[in-house]
Amino acid sequence: MRKSIGLLAAALLAILPGSGPARTAPERPELFYHIFVRSFADSDGDRQGDLNGIRARLDYLQSLGVTTVLLTPLYPSSFYHNYFADDFEGIDPEFGTMRDFSALVADLHARGMKIILDQEIQYVTGAHAWYRQSHQKPGGAFDGFLLYKDASNREAVPTLTASNDYLVWPNQRQQIFTVNLAEPKVCAYFTRYLKNWLDPNQDGDPRDGVDGFRIDHMMDDLDNRGALTNLFGDFWVPMLAELRALNPKVQVIAEQADWGDGEAFFTRGKVDRVFAFPIWRAAHDLDAAAFAAAINRSNDLMTAGRDQLVFIENHDTDRFASGPGTTPAIRRLGAAITLLTGWTPSLYYGQEIGMAGTKLENPGANADVADIPRRQAFRWVAGAGAAGNAGWYCAARDAYDAPDCRSSGDALSVVGQERDRASLLNAYRQLSALRARTPALARGATRVVAQSADLVLIERATRDDRALILFNFGKTAQAMTLAAPAALTRRFGDATLRRDAQGTSLSAPPYSATVWTRSP
C-alpha cells in the first residue's frame, strides 16, 4: 500500500542541498565488536576461545571496519561465562596469560584499535577468598567485603535470586555472594584494580593498558533490595573520577540494568556511554514507530559528551536471526539498523554471519545453561570440530547437547560466506565501508524526517554532507511522497526514487534499507 506524507519544500531543500563544499576523507568511524571470549576463536586446539585466538583474527575484524573490541570478563571464574569472579586478579588460564593479554593490547594499539573490558564487580563466587575468609569469620581480613544479614557472618544477603546457590554448566553447584560496595576498603580495592588494567606497569603512562570498561548490571540501588543504595554518588562517581585522572581518555560504558534509555546513568552515574536498548527493542519488534520514537528520545538525551552503543543483539539477548531476522532481507535490515542509525554501532560476534540462538525455555534446574545458545561457538570453518572453532560445550553434551556439536556442515561460517558476494557477511562489509567513506554516515547527527506505517526516513548530516536512509520494517512494499525534488544518488539498497512535478516519490521493497547521498 502506498503511503504519502507531505513535507514543506523548504525543509527538504535544507536537508538535501544540491551542491556544497567538496567532501574530505573522514577519519575511520568507531565500530565496536562485542566478543564472548570463550566462544570466539581457539588458538591451541582445546576448543576454548582465547586471547591468542583474538589476536589471530584482527585482520578479519578490520575487514569489517572494527575499531574497538569489547571483551567479556577475563578473570578466573567457576562459571563458563566468567561474570562471577573466583578471583579478580589475573586471567582465566583457559583464555591465556597476562603476557598474552599484553600482546593483544599491543597489537590492537599498533593498528590504531581500542580494547574495552567487561567488569561485573558486584558479586563473587563461593570460591573467592572474600567469602572463604569472611564466612563465619567476623573480624577477619575481609570482614565487611561481602553483605551478611548477621554480625557473625553466617547468613549472606541473597543476590540475583532468593538464594545464593546455583546449579551451573556443566552440572556443578556454585554460590554467588554480594560485594559490599558501601565498604571504603572495597572501593579502594576496585579503584586500584581498575587502575592496574589502565596502566599495567604502573609507570603513569596508560598506553599499555585498556581503553575503558563496560560496567555490567550497573545500578544505583543494587538489585532494588535497599541494601546498597546511592551507589552512583557514593561508589561509582568517585572511582570513575580517579580513573579519569589517570587516563582522561578512558571510556566508561554502563549496561543499564533496567534496559531503559540510560538518562540517570549520565546525570548521576557520570558514565560516557550507555546501550541503546530502546532502539534494540524496536529493531526486534520490527516496529517503525518505536524506532522513530527511540531516535527522537536519543536526540533529547545524547547531548555533548554523551553517546550510546546501537546494537541488535548481545550476550544476554536472543540472536536477531532467531527473532524477526528469519529471512535474508530482514537480516540485512538488521545490519543497516546497526551501522546506519547513528551514534556508535556495536556488533555481537557472529551477527555478521547470521548466527542463531535463543534462550532455552525449559533448562530445568540448571538455569545457567539457558543462555548458552546465545553464546555458541563462532564458525570460522564449516563443521563443528574444525580447527579454530571454539566448541567448548561439546565436551559435556550430557549437560548441553548443542545442535552445532552434531552438525557436520554449516553454511553459516566465515569461509562459507567469504566467497559469496551476496552473503550477509559481505553486506556488513559493504555497509561498513560505505559508512567509513561517507562523512554523514560516519559521524553525522541523526534525525527523523518522516515516519508512516512501516516506513521511517532519517537524515544523517554533518555541516558539509547529507544522507537519507529509508527503512521499511514491513512485509509489503510501501512508498512515501516528499513535497520537493532533490538530486540524490542511491548508494545501497533497492528502494526507488522518482521525481516529477508533484515531488519526490520513494518506494521501498519489504524489509529493506536504502541509502541516498547528495549527488556530487
Instruction: Write the pLDDT tens digit of every residue in 447-466.
Output: 999 999 999 999 999 999 99
Q: Which residues contact 369 (CB under 8 A, 6 or more apart)?
A: 168, 169, 360, 363, 399, 400
Beta strand 455-461 with 212-218: parallel, antiparallel or unpaired?
unpaired
Query: What is the number of other CB atoms lying within 10 angstroms of the CB of residue 23?
Result: 16
CB 519 within 8 A of CB 488: yes
Strand order of the β-sheet with 455-461 is 445-452, 455-461, 466-472, 512-518, 488-492
What's the predicted TM-score (pTM) here? 0.94
For 392, what's the count of Cα atoms within 13 Å in the CB-facing half-sphere? 27
Question: What DSSP line would sit under 350-378, residue for residue?
Answer: TGGGT------S--TT-GGGGGGGGGPPP
CA 447, CA 192: separation in Å to the nearest integer? 42
Residue 517 has pLDDT above 60, yes or no: yes
Q: Residue 52 phi/psi, 5° resolution?
A: -70, -30
Least confident of 135-149, 189-203, 478-492: 478-492
Residue 491 has pLDDT above 70, yes or no: yes
Three-class SS of residue 157?
Answer: coil
pLDDT at 151: 95
Residue 13 has pLDDT above 60, yes or no: no
pLDDT at 297: 98
CB 227 within 8 A of CB 147: yes
Tens of pLDDT, residue by residue over 419-448, are 899 999 999 999 999 999 999 999 999 999
How does DSSP classify residue 6?
-
Return the C-alpha cell found at 264.
540517570
- Please state, in angstroms and as integers, the Cα–Cα distance from residue 31 to each residue in 68, 113, 310, 355, 374, following that order: 6, 10, 10, 19, 21
Q: Residue 408 phi/psi, 5° resolution?
A: -95, -10
Q: Give the mean pLDDT of 506-514.
A: 97
pLDDT at 165: 79
Three-class SS of residue 76?
Answer: coil
Return the C-alpha cell found at 456.
521511517
